[in-house]
Structure 1
């Protein structure tokens, strides 16, 4: 550990996540304490061997953590942490976004080639996460029908639906205005009604469904105790069989256009 410099282990790990070696981390932390110093001074402050300190400091200069002033002896000055972390945070995010986009493309290309692209999803958290994932992939159309929703689901759905709308996705929603889950009333309509999309409040069955681009969908069910859904019993069926997805979308269109279910007033 660094001598006389009280730094949490998580801070050291963060610097290593930003691409610093152990010696570079030691030297940068020391510099945040002394602000500026010679290689000899920084070797003593950081416990980095003198035989390594010049290589370490020059590497920090190259990585943008330290500035070097010409002269004899060379003087090294720390770049303020807020500048370093802001730049690194942006670089890490950009790298992760690119990696996510590339791997998602591979994932979405290969999923339909799986011999049986149907999976069971157990539990409310995994079901909601899969719904959010499907919505985030919508490119042209998104249809949602929800006879019930879990406790923290409506605001999460609203956030990703708003992003889909901004991408130009055509969104249509049929929901019950309220859900009772685990004996607790969940107010759905107050969260979703302000979305800039087509929305109907109908007395629909106790199932929920998210379908995008006629390619992919999840349909979820739960056991009920009286009028209350029992969340721990919930199960979702996620699939990418186009024929099945198109059939379910046809059923949705029938409900949407023929007002099969009674409209609910709030």
Structure 2
């Protein structure tokens, strides 16, 4: 049956050559066959077919049954594509992380390393990126959270804890976002780190390694945060971030927490 060009292109993305694609597609219809049968069905020269099938086996696209002649059996396509999809995603994630680190290490040298980020989704993504870059410390103040944000941050923070990052969190017990209650401290206390509960104002901050910080603000009405008004201020002025970190640690030791719950 005719094969769409998009399918051929997809197989190239998976790392197959033209001949490998032809041989693989032939085997998906034959299911099990000898090299000569695959050569005849695919149009790939027999002199090249053995090496191509050996390469497809190495890449995980087929299995070989020993005998005379050798029998080649296609691996179920769903297994091949799922494995390849995971590998491609891992490679893309690794590449993205490396390129972002290069970009952000250089962008901080620009004349004004302060940027505004609009929208709760983009802000949460930036929070997770910052947490993922932490090497030694994270200081977080959470006066409010967006819906489903706590779960996403917990996952990122757990990864940082496994890397040995020291984390301190000052969190409000709860807040109202878009007229729905979010139990901040109840969910965050699942983390194995230093956490203090205090009804801080409607502001949020994440500070990494005394090198960068993200401040998040929202408008609120009748005690409820309006998430669509969210603005993040991403700051990489090292001197400023160091000062805010020192202030955070000073507040951490103050008596205002004596009447609040302290989790650790």
Task: Identify the match of residue 116 of structure 1 among 104, 112, 118.
Answer: 112
| CA distance in 2: counterparts of 1:216 and 1:243, whole angstroms | 10
Partner of 2:240: 244
Task: Identify the match of residue 51 of structure 2 among 44, 51, 58.
Answer: 58
In structure 1, stretches of 5+ residues that fail to align are none
Matched, 1:78 2:78: no
| CA distance in 2: counterparts of 1:147 and 1:263, whole angstroms | 18
Contact 2:39–2:49 (8 Å) recurs in 1: no
SS in 1 for 2:253: helix
| CA distance in 1: counterparts of 2:241 and 2:173, whole angstroms | 25
* Structure 1 stretch displaced more, 8-17 or 166-175: 8-17
Distance 1:24 1:90, change over 3 A: same
Note the C-alpha offset of 1:28.
Answer: 1.3
| CA distance in 2: counterparts of 1:203 and 1:248, whole angstroms | 19
Distance 1:59 1:94, change over 3 A: farther
Distance 1:75 1:251, change over 3 A: same
Distance 1:187 1:257, change over 3 A: same
Distance 1:245 1:39, change over 3 A: same
Partner of 1:233: 229
Counting only pairs closer than 5 Å after superposition, residues 135-174 of structure 1 correspond to structure 2 as 135-174=131-170
Note the C-alpha offset of 1:114.
Answer: 1.8
Contact 1:203–1:263 (8 Å) recurs in 2: no
Note the C-alpha offset of 1:112.
Answer: 2.0
TM-score where L is the length of structure 2: 0.82
SS in 2 for 1:218: strand
| CA distance in 2: counterparts of 1:31 and 1:16, whole angstroms | 17
SS in 2 for 1:205: coil
Task: Identify the match of residue 196 of structure 1 among 192, 199, 212.
Answer: 192
RMSD in angstroms over aligned alpha carbons? 3.3
CA deviation string 1:110-158 (max 9, x = no partner): 1321221111000100010000000000000000001000001000010
| CA distance in 1: counterparts of 2:6 and 2:259, whole angstroms | 54
Matched, 1:106 2:123: no
Aligned length: 258
